[in-house]
Amino acid sequence: MITDEYARTFASVNDRIGQLRESGFYTFEQPFTAAPGGRSEIDSREVIMLTSGNYLGLVGHPEINKAVKEALDTYGSGACGARLNNGTTRLHLELEERLAEWMGTEAALTYSSGYLANLGTISALCDADTVVITDQFNHMSILDGCRLAEGSVKIFAHNSMEKLEYVLQRNADAAKKFVVVDGVYSMDGEIAPLDEIHRLTERYGALLMVDEAHGTGFLGANGRGAGEHFGLVPDITMGTFSKTLGGVGGFVTASHDIVEFLRHSAHAYMFNASLPAPTVAGVLKALELMRREPWRTEKLWENTMRFRSGLIRLGFEVMGSVTPVIPILIGDDETALRMSKELMADGLYVSGAIYPAVPKGKARFRATVTAAMTSEDVDSAVALLGDAARRHNVLA
């Protein structure tokens, strides 16, 4: 039964969404009809794709498609069970071995999504004796994992090492201390100062977990992420398959003891359906291609620098991003939505981020550059963004 209280709860969100839909500026959940390459299609109309985690352009690679199809013929579309029961295949075990070898750790564990990897790992490791310490701008999956944890949660100001050390000092006597941060912040494109964070966790005896969802594949000499960028290996590294590896799912790498504990304690692993074998086969092939075709990483950085410098020349504020995740500050929510709608009509898809996803007055486009884009795609995207910004007086 929908009571008045439920109705008020629903209305607090749905009324605003309804207004956006009626105004014609609701640009979310567009019906794509092609893969997210450098260009894609919305309702069969071509657009330059500027909102996708397909960083290395591996989605749709013929070798990946072939591996997926072969696994589909062998294993079927799904295991219909959890990993601890009937959900483990030879491919799952091979993938976990390959992930541990790639990330330079003793062991690895795969989850059905990156969101679940954070949720399951944090909630399993942080019991009532744990002080959980997290950056205020961490991804929602980290924050939700902290909410599920039984420990005491402390939040420090974004990238403030002074605040982090203050929290660690205040909780120096805690039995267990657990620090979790993003390696690359998904809304701002910043790299966390992991060298300083690692130094502090070592000094105060805290476990360090780093979410490398937006760093694996192109940061560091072997693409291990922000940790490798700073020359260190966190106690726990989390990553996803849904970005550079062109699939879906998530993983953590750590010591054998931590992974074995998670395998038999993390509810998001134990009680969740296994990744389908065809998905696992595709990720295995993507790992191989990532190493065999280093030109993809080179092209990604070339496109990133070209796009970023083009925006800066036009006068856009890119908020200090140094990665392929490039925020473009617009300011006003309605302006960002209007521009997004107009850009879609002009042949460019870039998603707007508005309050409450970002602070009030900080609406932005969250652009993600990929290796699948040509130089012409990048230049066209910059030009179209500039034209839209001038129409709405966004540029100084």
Tell me: the pLDDT tens digits for 342-389? Answer: 999 999 999 998 888 888 899 999 999 999 999 999 999 999 999 999
Q: 83-113 pLDDT, tens per residue? A: 999 999 999 999 999 999 999 999 999 999 9
In a domain, 10, yes or no: no
Same domain, 250 and 102: yes
Same domain, 246 and 99: yes
In a domain, 246, yes or no: yes
Known catalytic membership, residue 243: yes
Catalytic residue among 214, 285, 299, 362: 214
Same domain, 31 and 120: no
Known catalytic membership, residue 214: yes
Same domain, 126 and 261: yes
> Can you give the pLDDT at residue 182?
97
pTM of the entire predicted model: 0.95
- How far separated are the first and last CA of the chain, in Å rounded? 53
User: Is 253 within 8 Å of 99 (Cβ atoms)?
Assistant: yes
Please say if the pLDDT value at position 396 is more than 70. Answer: no
Average pLDDT, the chain: 95
In a domain, 73, yes or no: no
User: Is 114 within 8 Å of 240 (Cβ atoms)?
Assistant: yes
Same domain, 225 and 336: no
Same domain, 44 and 172: no
> Can you give the pLDDT at residue 284?
98
Same domain, 37 and 180: no
Residue 34 DSSP class:
S
In a domain, 116, yes or no: yes
Query: Residue 298 maps to which CATH number?
Result: 3.90.1150.10
Query: Residue 268 maps to which CATH number?
Result: 3.40.640.10
> Can you give the pLDDT at residue 34?
94
> Can you give the pLDDT at residue 26?
86
Same domain, 261 and 318: no
Helix count (H) and strand count (E) of the chain? 14, 13
Q: 196-244 pLDDT, tens per residue? A: 999 999 999 999 999 999 999 999 999 999 999 999 999 999 999 999 9
Q: 256-302 pLDDT, tens per residue? A: 999 999 999 999 999 999 999 999 999 999 999 999 999 999 999 99
Same domain, 258 and 327: no
Same domain, 319 and 191: no
Catalytic residue among 243, 285, 299, 362: 243
Please provide residue 174's backbone torsions phi and psi, each rounded to the nearest 5 degrees: -65, 145
Q: Of 70, 84, 93, nearest to 270 (Cα)?
A: 84
Catalytic residue among 112, 113, 123, 186: 186
DSSP string, 349-381: E--EE-TTTS-TT-EEEEEE--TTS-HHHHHHH
Number of domains in the chain: 2
Indicate the pLDDT class of residue 193, thresholds 50, 70 and 90: very high
Q: Of 8, 10, 42, nearest to 27 (Cα)?
A: 42
Domain of 98, in residue numbers = 79-275
Q: Of 6, 87, 38, nearest to 279 (Cα)?
A: 87
Residue 235 and residue 295: Cα distance in Å, rounded? 30
Strand 152-156 and strand 130-135: pairing?
Answer: parallel
In a domain, 70, yes or no: no
User: Is 5 within 8 Å of 23 (Cβ atoms)?
Assistant: no
Known catalytic membership, residue 360: no
Report, in this order, helix, strand and coil percent for the chain, each rounded to 5: 45, 15, 40
Please say if the pLDDT value at position 55 is more than 70. Answer: yes
Please give the average per-residue pLDDT across 50-57, as a whole number. 96
CA angle 136, 123, 181 (to 5 degrees): 30
User: Is 56 within 8 Å of 218 (Cβ atoms)?
Assistant: yes
Which of 242, 275, 308 is the C-terminal boundary of a domain?
A: 275
Residue 219: alpha-carbon gap to chain centroid: 14
Residue 333 and residue 135: Cα distance in Å, rounded? 25
Please say if the pLDDT value at position 177 is more than 80. Answer: yes
Same domain, 182 and 98: yes
Same domain, 127 and 217: yes
